[in-house]
Structure formats: structure tokens, C-alpha cells
Structure 1
Amino acid sequence: MKLPLGVIVFASGRDAERLVAGVPAAARSVREARRAGLSVCWVTAGAGWEPSAATRAEIDRLADGMDVHFGNGSALAVEGGFDRVAMIPGDRQPAAEAILRAIAEPDGITQADLVQVVPQEEANQVAGRMTAQGAESSRRLAAAARAVVRSTAKPTDGIVSRHLNRPISQAISALLLHFPGIRPVHATVGTGLIAAAMFASLLFWGATGLVVGAILFQAASIFDGVDGEISRATFRSSPAGAKMDSLVDAATNLSFLLGVAINLQMRGEVVYATFGYAGLVLLASGLVMIGRAAARSQAPFSFDVVKDHYRRQGTNGEPSRLMQGLTYLTSRDFFALAFALLIAFGLAPLVLALFAVAAGGWLVAVILALRPTQA
């Protein structure tokens, strides 16, 4: 069956160029039409509308080679031999699956998204009806943006991240995605700046700096989710970005623990500071082992290699409840909040003691996980 021509209809150029979670609505709709398999697509948003240079660049990026035109698509339907036209309401931002359902339906319509597949001679009439319903387009586009941001959560989120960090980071992401040109790297740099302020507080503000540093460590843990949310919302995920994010995460974690140890040492708590330094040595040893194993196998470096190994040891590829519990307890979102609370209650020495024990256990887990690789 030949797929129909796609015609994406907006009530106005303003609606077509409105940012929906960081991406112009027209570009986001074009991407879904391409994912649905349509080879040719028109975008119409009122007489004489042409996309701005920024919107056109985003359309080109997300069209991925699909033939995209602007204006009334009915003439091309005839010239291109299309006997059917998929009328896609841009303000409803239907997903590719909804477009495919409409194509497969006998009457060519999905009630949820009002995607209609009609004979080419009816296309202009249907487009007129869609445009007339544009009074609600602003509300619909705002709802679509909220849905996109909500979808950026990860199934692997820990308990703290799911119930505390993620709601806050998504609120921050939703705000930042209103700004044209926002990129994941901007959020990654933001996390790095929070980490730098955290380390400075731990080094120079004594007991007060310890509390401020703990608060900033938790803030960095929350803000760390923003770059990933922006990348998923704007379709800008990349191996280089993921690697940079992982490096900033590691630097933040290490600088926090090192800063707490130095802070306690400067205040005469030498024994507890030593726990921190020992934990850092154990942690560094494990990271070196992971890095060497990755270099030998020519695989990308990943901090998740231990989790992945023990996940595979579970039933049907699912980790045991014990492993799930340990994963939650050793995840950054959990220990950042736990350490912040312990320090707030004056238990900073306990933080480093717990860290040293956890680092020793983690090193043993790394050795056991990499043993097959080394054999």
C-alpha cells in the first residue's frame, strides 16, 4: 500500500514556530511524520508563511532527508500521484504511532489525535476545518510540551531521583527549554559550576562550608538530570555528550568526598579524613580496572559495567532484589541526599567512614565483575 502525502496544518506561523520543549512545533511534527514512514510532507501555517532560518534548520535536522515543503500541499498530491493525504493537526502534536493508526483505519481517522487520511480533493476543506479550530492551539501546544518533559524520566531512576530529584530537574528543564538555542552542554556546564562552588565551600568555609558543600552536592545531583532531559526532549543525545556528563558526574563525586576529607583534616579530624582518603584510593583503583578492561575490549568506558554484570546474573536478565537494593543504595541520587542529611546533623565523620566501607565493597564487586574479562 502506497503511503499518503503528509500535510501538517497549523493555524498560524506563530504556532508552527512555537517551541515545544525546545523544538519548534513544526520540526517536531515533521519528525513524527518521517518516523511514520511518509516520504513527502508539506507544512502549512497560513497564507504566505515561510519558516524562520532557525526553524528551517531544525526541520532539516529532524526530517533526516524527508522531502519537506511549505504552503498548500494539494497540488503536489496530484502531481506526485498521491490519491490520499494524511492531514496532521500540528497543534495536537500526534506521534508517529497515531499517524500510522490513521493510515491503517478504514475511515482514516484516529479520534484521539484527529489525524485524518482523506482523498486528495478533500485536503483543502479538511485543512480549513483544522485551521478554524486553532483557538485552542496555544493550550494544546503547552500541554504537548509538558508531556514531552514528563517523558524524559529514565526507567533506571533510583528511589530518590524518581520522587525528589526528577520532579525538580524536570521543572528546571521545562523552564530552560523555553529559551531558543538551549543545549544539553549548557546544563552540563551548569552542573560543573555548582560542583566548583561546592568544592570551594568545603575548602575555605570551615564548619559552615561543610554544610553549604553538602547542600550544593545535593543541588548538583538534582541539576545533573537536566542535561539528559534536554538531550532527550530535543533529540540531541550523543556519545560525546554522555561521556562529558559522566566525567562531570565523576569529578563532582570525587571532589565532594575529597573536599570533605580536607575540611575535616584542617579542623583536626585526621583519623576520619584518612577514611576519606582510603575510600578515594579504593574508588580510584576500581575505576582504573574498569578503564583498563574497556581499553582491552575496545568498548566505551562506562560506570555501569558492574551494574550490568550483576543484572545479567539475575533471573531472565532481571537483577535480584538484593542487587536492586544495593544498586539503589550506591546510586548517586541516594548517597548525595543521605550524605547531605548526615552532614546537616553534624555527622560528617560518619560520611567518610561509610564511604570507605562502600568503596571497599564496590572494589570487590568490580574485581568479581571483571574476572571473566580478565580470564
Structure 2
Amino acid sequence: MNAIILRTGDYQRSIAGVSLLDRLVVELSRGGAESIKILGDPNQPELKRAVARGIAFEYADGVPTLTEPTLVVRDDVFIQRSDFTMLIEKGGTLQGPDKDPLPVGVLEDGSLENLKERLAGLEQHAPEGVTQTVRSQDDAEQAERLLWATMGSKCDGVVDTWLNRPVGRCLSKLLVWTSVTPNQVSAGSTILGVAAGALFYLGPYWPALWGAILLQVSAVIDCVDGDIARVAYKESELGRWLDIVGDNVVHITVFVGVGIGLWVQGDVGALPLGISAGIGALISFLVVLRGMSARHEDNARLQSFLDKMANRDFSVLLLILAAMDQLWLFLWMVGIGVHVFWVVALIILSTGGKARPE
């Protein structure tokens, strides 16, 4: 279905660093619009995210007469892709908070004059995502608050949900207005994590404690790259790989570092246990890579397992045990747990394609 954006004149309003018009174009494209036409003067700031994502759109003068079903939306309303998809599939319009239709809907044909009256005659659907009419800066700030509330990851554990992401969100809200990229944040998080592992190598109590603190900071920053990527439409395949590889490099560095640090202090069994944990982390990474290249149904089963098990919660446990000078306990936990993890993941992959008995 084709889409038309009707301009109202205020093109400068932005939500989380991206102009509202730019957001509409990206969300329409991701929602399933086959072509996007913007009515009005094209002499305005570039729609940077739409251009960066390679989304085709065009400007047009005048108000056309519709000859086929078309999704029409005014440029002063914030709508997410799920609701655009619903309108393309079902037709109708979206219900606003006051029960009146929002300035968006599928019109079968005819003129675009008297849009409000035409939308009032359509079937109204309750929005699935965030919707907000944006006619003032207060409206834009409200839309931004609602948008940030939807940002998260299926892999978030308890610590991510209640500590890492809320703290990292403060940084995300600042960086999204800058030129800092998600990939730069990912690299910074990895560097901090590797530095934390290096501190564990030194052995004594205080370097290990500072290593645990630095790892926790790395875990907080690790939530920021995804925030920026999703809210500002800066997702990329490179960024996905930087995140995956970086996390595993940090895990291996920290596990082996804790083992060496305890070995330096006289725990002769810590070194082989730390190396074993590092090898287990590497095997886990390779199993995940295999799952990423598996058939869709097998990948889905593994992804469900990863969503439940692969999170950063261990960083707080490590911090607590480092403060208690009980890192040997952490080493035993990861030394066993990481191997259980890859074995279970491998079983899920190897049994995923087999038919179940009748």
C-alpha cells in the first residue's frame, strides 16, 4: 500500500534526536508502506535516518486525488511501525486518547480535503504501540518519554532490568543527541571489560575489586549501544557482531583473569579452572554462531534459550564476591555453569530438527 504524509508546517520538532518527519518515513517503511510521498516544499533539513537506511521517498506539490486505498498520515503525530502495519492490513484509523481518531488512516479514494471528517467515518482501532499527537515541545517530550519506555532487550535479566539499563538510559538519552554511534559505545564497553579482566590478573584484593567495579561499569555501558541503535534507527550488522564478539572477549578475559589472579595468590587449582571457564566461554560462542546459521526453527529455539540465560547479571555477583574476597566461589560457579550452558545449547540445536514421536 502507498503512503502519503501531509505536512502541517512545523518540520523541526525532534524526538530522541530524530525529527518527527524522519521518524514517520522510517516507521512507515518498516510498517510495510510500498511507497512514501511527502506533500509540500522539499526545502527543509535532510531526513538523515531515512536516507541512511536507504528508504525511498519523494516530495510532491499539491494535493492529489486518491484512486486506490492509501495510508494517509499527518506529520504532527508520532506512530510506531506496528500500528502502520495494522492499518495496512485492516484499514480504518487509530483511536486517540480522547476517543477521536488520530490524524492517520486508510482512505479508499477521493480527495484529501476535510481529512478529519473523512477519518471520523472509518473504523477505529486501539493502538498497539506508542502514539502521540505532537503540536508542542511538551508533546514531543511526552512522546520521547513513551518511546524510551518501550526500549529494552529480551535478554535483559533482573540486574539489567533494575540497574544496568536504568542507569545506562541516562547516558543513552544524552548520547542520542550527539554524533556518537552505537558501534563506538560497543567498542568502549569492550575496552572497559578487557581492562577489568587485566586488573583481575594482578591478584590482590584491591585490584580485583576495582576490576569488578570496572566490569559493572562496562555492563551498564553495554546497555547503551542497543538503546541508541534502536531509538535512532542506527542498527547495523557490524554493530550486531561488535556486540556479540565484544561480550565474549570480555567474558573470556575476565574468567581467565580471575583464575590467574587467584593462582598468583597461591590457589594452584584456580589457573586450570579459569582456563577451563575461558575455553567454555569460547565454545559457547561457537555454539551460538552455529545457531545463528541454523534453520529458522532451530535458531528460534536457541534464541529463546539465550533470551532466558544470556545476560549480564553475573557482573553484580562478581562484584559482591570480590568485595567479600571470595572470588574462588565465582570461579567455581562459572567454571561449571559455562560448560552446562554450551552443552544445553548444543542439545537444543542438535534435537531441534528431529521430528517428535507420535
TM-score (norm 1): 0.71
Q: Could you say which residue in structure 1 is the equivalent of 2:27?
A: 32
Confirm or deny: 8 A CA contact 2:155 2:310 kept in the other structure.
no
* Residues 1:299 and 2:286 aligned together: no
Matched AA of 2:248: A
Matches within 5 A, 1:1-375: 5-10=4-9, 12-15=10-13, 18=14, 20-34=15-29, 35=31, 37=33, 39-42=35-38, 50-52=43-45, 55-61=46-52, 64-69=55-60, 73=61, 75-77=62-64, 86-90=72-76, 92-96=77-81, 97=83, 104-105=91-92, 110-112=95-97, 114-115=102-103, 119-122=111-114, 137-179=136-178, 181-204=179-202, 206-288=204-286, 299=293, 308-309=301-302, 330-366=309-345, 368-369=347-348, 371-372=350-351
What percent identity do the matched residue pairs reach? 17
SS of 1:93's partner is strand
> How far has the Cα of 1:366 moved from its partner?
4.7
Confirm or deny: 8 A CA contact 1:273 1:352 kept in the other structure.
no
SS of 1:86's partner is strand
Pair 83,216 (structure 1): closer, same or farther in 2 beyond 3 Å: closer
> How far has the Cα of 1:43 moved from its partner?
5.7
Pair 356,37 (structure 1): closer, same or farther in 2 beyond 3 Å: closer
SS of 1:115's partner is strand
SS of 2:7's partner is strand
The worse-fitting range, judged by mean Cα deviation, of 243-252 and 152-161 is 152-161
Q: Could you say which residue in structure 1 is the equivalent of 2:124?
A: none
Equivalent-residue separation in structure 1 for 2:91 and 2:283 (angstroms): 57
Pair 350,114 (structure 1): closer, same or farther in 2 beyond 3 Å: same
Equivalent-residue separation in structure 1 for 2:299 and 2:27 (angstroms): 36
Q: Could you say which residue in structure 1 is the equivalent of 2:130?
A: none
Pair 136,284 (structure 1): closer, same or farther in 2 beyond 3 Å: closer
Equivalent-residue separation in structure 1 for 2:286 and 2:84 (angstroms): 48
> How far has the Cα of 1:307 moved from its partner?
9.0
SS of 2:136's partner is helix
> How far has the Cα of 1:135 moved from its partner?
9.5
Confirm or deny: 8 A CA contact 1:191 1:224 kept in the other structure.
yes
Deviations 1:47-93 (A, max 9, x none): x78223xx333343457223235xxx5x2425x87999935142x31
Equivalent-residue separation in structure 1 for 2:269 and 2:337 (angstroms): 17
> How far has the Cα of 1:234 moved from its partner?
2.2
Matched AA of 2:23: R
> How far has the Cα of 1:230 moved from its partner?
1.6
Matched AA of 2:258: V
Aligned length, in residue pairs: 328
Confirm or deny: 8 A CA contact 2:252 2:282 kept in the other structure.
no
> How far has the Cα of 1:252 moved from its partner?
0.8
Confirm or deny: 8 A CA contact 1:21 1:146 kept in the other structure.
no
The worse-fitting range, judged by mean Cα deviation, of 196-205 and 244-253 is 196-205
> How far has the Cα of 1:191 moved from its partner?
0.6
> How far has the Cα of 1:110 moved from its partner?
4.1
Pair 76,82 (structure 1): closer, same or farther in 2 beyond 3 Å: farther
Equivalent-residue separation in structure 1 for 2:34 and 2:344 (angstroms): 49
Pair 356,204 (structure 1): closer, same or farther in 2 beyond 3 Å: closer
TM-score (norm 2): 0.74
Deviations 1:114-159 (A, max 9, x none): 31569434479x9xxxxxxx99521111222222222221234222
Tell me, which stretches of 5 or more residues in structure 2 are unaligned? 119-132
Tell me, which stretches of 5 or more residues in structure 1 are unaligned? 127-133, 312-318
Equivalent-residue separation in structure 2 for 1:374 and 1:37 (angstroms): 35
Deviations 1:155-175 (A, max 9, x none): 342222222222222232122
SS of 1:153's partner is coil
Pair 176,138 (structure 1): closer, same or farther in 2 beyond 3 Å: same
> How far has the Cα of 1:353 moved from its partner?
1.6
Deviations 1:162-202 (A, max 9, x none): 222222222321221121x3321021112122123313333
> How far has the Cα of 1:255 moved from its partner?
0.9
SS of 1:333's partner is coil
Equivalent-residue separation in structure 2 for 1:87 and 1:310 (angstroms): 36
Confirm or deny: 8 A CA contact 2:192 2:218 kept in the other structure.
yes
